């Protein structure tokens, strides 16, 4: 189901359904091809690093949930989840299924084959995506935005974001990254947390220059 079909569905208040975006950050059923939700610099079958050009993918990951929120203001529930925080994830799904009308949840799902890691650390990678601030957890319920879990703790200064290096270097798909590449990735995440009106949600800067 493409973004256009999702968007069309979200415009029909009489549709009582949940669209759950299971995001492994590639087109995995066609041999790990790059997609709109693939992160910057990632190694896929269509963005393999080489000797001449190390970084073949220069786009930043598409931020899907805010697209749904901004473009479909009548949708009653939109959220992001990580199955590494299963209770929070289940609560979000329950809300989305019970609130009525079309709803949308974007779930980040580590993929051992596509991301090139030992399946035993899948749970840990999901936690690191959140704890580094790369994957913020939030929900928009009846127009009200709430950060939750570790993301809320980060925003309130109760938990210090971990360096993105801890997340990136656990995956073979980023094995070609240099210190400069990691620093660029870290700077982009820092900018999201320090300059955006709402981290991970609203990319407008807090201070207009």
- Where are any strands of DSSP class E within the chain? 17-23, 77-82, 102-108, 138-141, 144-147, 196-198, 202-205
Q: What share of the chain is helix, strand, coil (3-state, %, to 5)?
A: 40, 20, 45
174 close to 43: Cβ distance less than 8 angstroms? yes
- What pLDDT tens digit does each residue of the chain (209 aa) get? 688 899 999 999 899 999 999 999 999 888 899 999 999 999 999 999 998 899 999 999 999 999 999 999 999 999 999 999 999 999 999 999 999 999 999 999 999 999 999 999 999 999 999 999 999 999 999 999 999 999 999 999 999 999 999 999 999 999 999 999 999 999 999 999 999 988 888 888 766 55
């Amino acid at each position: 189901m493409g973004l256009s079909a999702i968007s069309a569905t979200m415009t029909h208040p009489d549709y009582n359904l949940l669209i759950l975006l299971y995001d492994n950050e590639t087109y995995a059923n066609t041999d790990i091809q790059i997609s709109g939700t693939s992160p910057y610099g990632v190694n896929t079958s269509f963005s393999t690093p080489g000797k001449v050009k190390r970084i073949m993918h220069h786009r930043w990951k598409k931020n899907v949930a805010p697209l749904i929120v901004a473009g479909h203001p009548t949708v009653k529930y939109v959220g992001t989840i990580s199955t590494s925080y299963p209770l929070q994830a289940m609560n979000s799904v329950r809300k989305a299924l019970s609130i009525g009308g079309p709803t949308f949840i974007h779930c980040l799902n580590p993929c051992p084959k596509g991301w090139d890691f030992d399946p035993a650390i899948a749970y840990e990678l999901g936690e690191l995506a959140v704890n580094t601030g790369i994957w913020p957890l939030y929900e928009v319920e009846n127009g009200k935005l709430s950060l939750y879990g570790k993301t809320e703790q980060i925003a309130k200064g109760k938990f210090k974001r971990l360096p993105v290096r801890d997340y990136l270097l656990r995956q073979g798909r980023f094995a070609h990254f240099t210190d400069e590449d990691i620093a660029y990735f870290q700077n982009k995440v820092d900018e999201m947390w320090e300059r955006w009106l709402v981290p991970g949600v609203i990319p407008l800067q807090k201070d207009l220059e």
